[in-house]
């Protein structure tokens, strides 16, 4: 894959040198980040719209926080400081599946249970990170929390590409089943959907995407990029195809603009923050459109 990345990079850098593309395209790390953005945009759009419909926003937030604990465990067991993927994937999957398992075996409301797990993941993550912080550069911590395009390398791009392929191979054939299982489990059962299985699979997909996006967006804000594009699209959508397409476009637009604008105008903000601010501006815009357009006011029924 490295040859392919280099080939794309060389061409874009040549276009930037001849001033066809803006100046940030001269930098290798910007192109790496943009390639990631083009992968995670559609991925977050499709998955995010489902997270919103399934009312699992805070579930993905708690998984993002669990990633901090994963990073700390990675450092403790001697994984690479910059890419402790084994620990992050391992711990986050364990965390998410435990949360889902507990949901099925308690009468507590979902928001209460997720709140409990969110607090636990934040407390454990913060404590362990402080414990290991003496061992690592504070910039590594910052990139984990808020994302950094400077930190994106070929390993991260390969992980993201792998996760995108896994999501496409599992998520697309089971999309209807996953959505139906949360809209109406009885109806899903009648249609032969193994409801529990697809619910666990969805949790796995959200976890994989959350961890794979950490380098770009950061643990604190990854949930926002799953949710805000979908919410923005929801404001001006009346059908599922429009919702998913708009969510994917808004997520991709937010990632690309959030990466390029701070570089172009030398604004010292973390990538995750910039991306989420762009997405939030799009959300405000669609809210205004919705409030001022009769066609969309009825779409929230």
Partner 1 sequence: MSKQNSLRGPALVFANVSLKLGGSHVLDAVNFQVEAGALHCLVGPNGGGKTSLVRALLGQMPHTGSIRIDGEPSHPVGYVPQLADFDRNVPMTVYDVMALLGQRRPAFLGSSRAARAANAEALQRTGVAGMGHKAFGSLSGGQRQRVLLAQAITPLPRLLILDEPTAGIDKPGLQLVENLVQELHASGVTIVWINHDLEQVRRIAQSVTVLNQRVLFHGAAQKLPTSWSDADE
Binding site for partner 1 (CB under 8 A): 46, 49, 53, 107, 172-173, 175-176, 179-180, 183-187, 189-192, 195, 234, 237-245, 298-301
Give the tokens for residue 230. Answer: 């979908």
Which is closer to partner 1, CB of 138 or CB of 186? 186
- Sign, CA dihedral 279-88-84-126, equals positive
Query: Are the C-beta atoms of residues 86 and 71 closer than 8 Å to each other?
Result: no
Q: How many CA atoms lie within 13 A of 261 on its CB side?
A: 16
Instruction: Tell me how far apart the alpha carbons of residues 35 and 102 are, in angstroms, rounded to a whole number.
Output: 37
Q: Which residue, among 132, 115, 70, has the nearest Cα to 95 in the 3D structure? A: 70
Centroid of chain to Cα 272: 10
Which is closer to partner 1, CB of 176 or CB of 293? 176
Which is closer to partner 1, CB of 93 or CB of 167? 167
Give the tokens for residue 6. Answer: 């280099």
In the complex, least distance from residue 204 CB atom to partner 1, rounded to whole angstroms:
18
In the complex, least distance from residue 277 CB atom to partner 1, rounded to whole angstroms:
25
In the complex, least distance from residue 186 CB atom to partner 1, rounded to whole angstroms:
5
Which is closer to partner 1, CB of 180 or CB of 212? 180
List own/partner pairs for 294-299 with CB under 8 A and 24 or more apart: 296/235, 296/236, 296/238, 299/236, 299/237, 299/238
In the complex, least distance from residue 44 CB atom to partner 1, rounded to whole angstroms:
14
In the complex, least distance from residue 57 CB atom to partner 1, rounded to whole angstroms:
14
Which is closer to partner 1, CB of 113 or CB of 124? 113
In the complex, least distance from residue 41 CB atom to partner 1, rounded to whole angstroms:
15
Instruction: Tell me how far apart the alpha carbons of residues 300 and 79 are, in angstroms, rounded to a whole number.
Output: 47
> Residue-wise over 78-112: b if at least 16 C-beta within 10 A, else e?
ebebbbbbebbbbbbbebbeebbeebeeeeeeeee
User: Strand, helix or coil at 221?
Assistant: coil
Which is closer to partner 1, CB of 190 or CB of 291? 190
In the complex, least distance from residue 168 CB atom to partner 1, rounded to whole angstroms:
11
Which is closer to partner 1, CB of 18 or CB of 300? 300
């Amino acid at each position: 894959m490295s040859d392919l990345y280099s080939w794309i990079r060389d061409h874009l850098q040549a276009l930037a040198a001849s001033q066809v593309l803006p100046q940030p395209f001269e930098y290798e790390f910007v192109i790496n980040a943009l390639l990631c953005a083009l992968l995670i945009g559609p991925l977050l759009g499709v998955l995010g719209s489902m997270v919103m419909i399934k009312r699992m926003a805070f579930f993905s937030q708690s998984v993002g926080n669990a990633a901090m604990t994963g990073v700390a465990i990675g450092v403790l067991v001697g994984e690479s400081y910059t890419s402790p993927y084994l620990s992050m994937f391992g711990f986050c999957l364990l965390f998410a599946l435990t949360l889902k398992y507990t949901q099925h075996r308690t009468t507590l409301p979902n928001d209460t249970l997720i709140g409990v797990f969110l607090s636990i993941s934040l407390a454990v993550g913060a404590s362990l990170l402080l414990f290991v912080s003496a061992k690592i550069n504070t910039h590594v911590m910052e990139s984990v929390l808020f994302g950094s395009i400077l930190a994106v390398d070929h390993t991260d791009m390969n992980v993201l590409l792998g996760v995108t392929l896994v999501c496409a191979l599992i998520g697309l054939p089971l999309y209807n089943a996953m959505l139906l299982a949360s809209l109406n489990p009885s109806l899903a059962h009648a249609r032969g959907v193994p409801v529990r299985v697809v619910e666990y699979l969805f949790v796995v997909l959200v976890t994989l995407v959350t961890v794979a996006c950490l380098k770009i967006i950061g643990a604190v804000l990854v949930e926002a990029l799953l949710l805000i594009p979908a919410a923005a699209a929801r404001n001006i959508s009346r059908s599922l195809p429009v919702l998913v397409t708009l969510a994917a476009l808004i997520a991709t637009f937010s990632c690309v603009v959030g990466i390029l604008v701070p570089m172009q105008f030398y604004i010292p903000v973390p990538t995750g923050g910039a991306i989420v601010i762009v997405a939030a501006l799009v959300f405000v815009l669609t809210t205004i459109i919705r409030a001022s357009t009769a066609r969309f006011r009825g779409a929230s029924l």
